[in-house]
Copies of this chain bind each other. A is one copy, B any other.
Amino acid sequence: MLSNACKYAIRSMLYLGIQTDDKNKVNVKKIAEELEVPQPFLAKLLQQLTKNKLVSSTKGPHGGFYVSEDDQKHTIWDIIKVIDGTTKFDECFLGLSKCSDENPCPVHFIVSPFKEHILKNFRDKTIAQYVDEIASSEKVISLKTFDIIKNSSS
């Protein structure tokens, strides 16, 4: 469904939402370690997110990446748009170009409600909302982060 690139990007943005703001930045090395993803690959992804104004960054000592309050207004859908593009989500599960409610493929009505529900969530729910939810419940965004949350709340 999502590429690795996009998974890393989403997890990074949630991580930055939880851990950072304009006063508290982290560098790629740290993010890559926390999320356990390949560092140079992640660096490229963060570049893309930054170029597209989903994530903020500053160079130099004490610089790094962060998501500001404004950045937090974005959605997972915004990330997908930047990293993977959204065509995959418009396509029929069996690859038929004209598949629709009117001309359904054999799995259309199995897959379609699922897709709608997920898409609605991805389009409507902001990173801020996700961050709140992760803080209040115990959602995981990496093994390490999971441990951090577990420990800090116990």
Contact = CB atoms under 8 A, between A and B. Distances in A.
Interface of A: 1-2, 4, 7-8, 10-11, 14, 76, 93-99, 103-108, 110-111, 113-115, 117-118, 121, 130, 133-134, 138-143, 146
A96 B140 contact: yes
B142 A96 contact: yes
A106 B141 contact: yes
Contacts of A113: 114
Copies of this chain, count: 2
B4 A1 contact: no
Given A4-B95, A103-B138, 8 more contacts: A1-B1, A1-B93, A2-B94, A8-B95, A94-B141, A105-B139, A114-B114, A114-B117
Nearest to A131: B106
Contact of A140 (B4, B76, B98): B98
B105 A141 contact: yes
Contact of A11 (B95, B133, B139, B141): B95
Contacts of A11: 94-96
A150 to B, nearest CB: 9
Given A93-B2, A96-B143, A110 B117 contact: yes
